[in-house]
Amino acid sequence: MTKENKNITYLDRNESQYGPSPACFESLKQPDFKTLSEYSRDYTRGIKSCLSERLAHEFNINEKNIILGYGGEDILKQVVHCYIHKGDKIMIPSFSWWYYKKIADEVLGVKVEYPIVEGKDSFYYDIDGMLKIFQEHKPKLVLISSPNNPTGNRLEIEQIKMVLGKMRDTVVVLDEAYTLFYNKDNSHLKEIIEEFPNVIIIRTFSKYYGLAGLRIGFALMGKNHEQFSLFSARYLGFNRLSEIIAIAALDSKEYYDGMCKKMNDDMEMFFAEFNKLKGFKAYKSFSNFILVKIPLEIKENLNKYLTDLGMIVKFMSEDGLFSHIRITIGTQEQNSNLMKMIKAFLRDNPVK
Ligand X SMILES: Cc1ncc(COP(=O)(O)O)c(C=O)c1O
> Applying CB under 6 A, does 152 fall inside the site for ligand X?
no
One-letter amino acid identity for 156?
E
How far apart, in whole angstroms, are the C-alpha atoms of residue 107 and residue 81? 6
**Shortest distance (Å) from residue 330 CB to ligand X:** 16
CA-based torsion, 257, 99, 168, 64: positive or negative: negative
Instruction: Check binding of 206 to ligand X (CB under 6 A).
Output: yes
Among 175, 181, 201, 239, the residue binding ligand X under the rule CB under 6 A is: 175
Q: Which is nearer to ligand X, 14 or 334 (CB)?
A: 14
Q: Does 17 bind ligand X (CB under 6 A)?
A: no
Q: Could you say whether residue 204 binds ligand X (CB under 6 A)?
A: yes
Q: Which of 144, 342 has the CB closer to ligand X?
A: 144
Report DSSP state, residue 237.
-
Name the minimum Å distance from CB 177 to ligand X: 4
The SS3 assignment for 93 reads: strand
By beta-carbon proximity to ligand X, the closer residue of 73 and 266 is 73
**Cβ(151)–Cβ(283) under 8 Å?**
yes
Q: Which is nearer to ligand X, 134 or 208 (CB)?
A: 208
What string of DSSP letters covers 94-116?
SS--THHHHHHHHTTPEEEEE-E
Told to check if 177 binds ligand X by CB under 6 A, we report: yes
Q: Which of 27, 40, 65, 145 binds ligand X (CB under 6 A)?
A: 145
Asked if 97 and 149 touch (Cβ cutoff 8 Å), the reply is yes
| Nearer Cβ to ligand X (14/52) | 14
Q: How far is the CB of 172 from ligand X (least distance, A)?
A: 15
Distance CA 253, CA 255 (A): 6
For ligand X, the closer of residues 145 and 334 by Cβ is 145
Residue 31 beta carbon to ligand X: minimum distance, rounded to whole angstroms? 23
Sheet of 66-69: strand order equals 66-69, 217-221, 199-204, 171-175, 141-145, 89-93, 110-114
Residue closer to ligand X, measured from CB, 71 or 109:
71
Residues 64-103: x where in contact with ligand X by CB under 6 A, - otherwise, as a string? -------xxx-----------------------x------
Return the number of the residue (218 or 315) whose C-beta is nearest ligand X: 218
Q: Does 14 bind ligand X (CB under 6 A)?
A: yes
Fill in the per-residue mask, 24 to 63: x = in contact with ligand X (CB under 6 A), - = not in contact: ----------------------------------------
Q: Which is nearer to ligand X, 149 or 198 (CB)?
A: 149
Residue 18: C-alpha distances to residues 5, 178, 205, 225 (Å): 18, 15, 14, 36
Position of minimal CB gap to ligand X = 71
Binding part of the chain for ligand X, among 204-212, 233-241, 271-279, 334-342 by CB under 6 A, reads 204-212
Q: Which is nearer to ligand X, 48 or 280 (CB)?
A: 48
Q: Count of CB atoms within 10 A of residue 14's CB?
A: 22
Selected binder of ligand X within 20, 93, 152, 217 (CB under 6 A): 217
The answer to whether residues 285 and 267 touch, using CB atoms and an 8 Å cutoff, is: yes
Question: Which amino acid is located at 13 in the chain?
Answer: R
Pairing outcome for strands 141-145 and 89-93: parallel
Cβ at position 178, least distance to ligand X in Å: 7
Query: Can you tell me the distance from the alpha carbon of 187 to that of 174, in angstroms, rounded to the nearest whole number?
Result: 15
Q: What is the total count of residues that contact ligand X (CB under 6 A)? A: 13
Bridge partners of residue 219, in order along the sequence: 67, 202
Which DSSP string do the residues of 4-59 spell out, in sequence order? --TT-EEESS---SS-S-HHHHHHHT---HHHHHS---GGGGTSS-HHHHHHHHHH
Residues lying near ligand X in the complex (CB under 6 A): 14, 71-73, 97, 145, 149, 175, 177, 204, 206, 212, 217
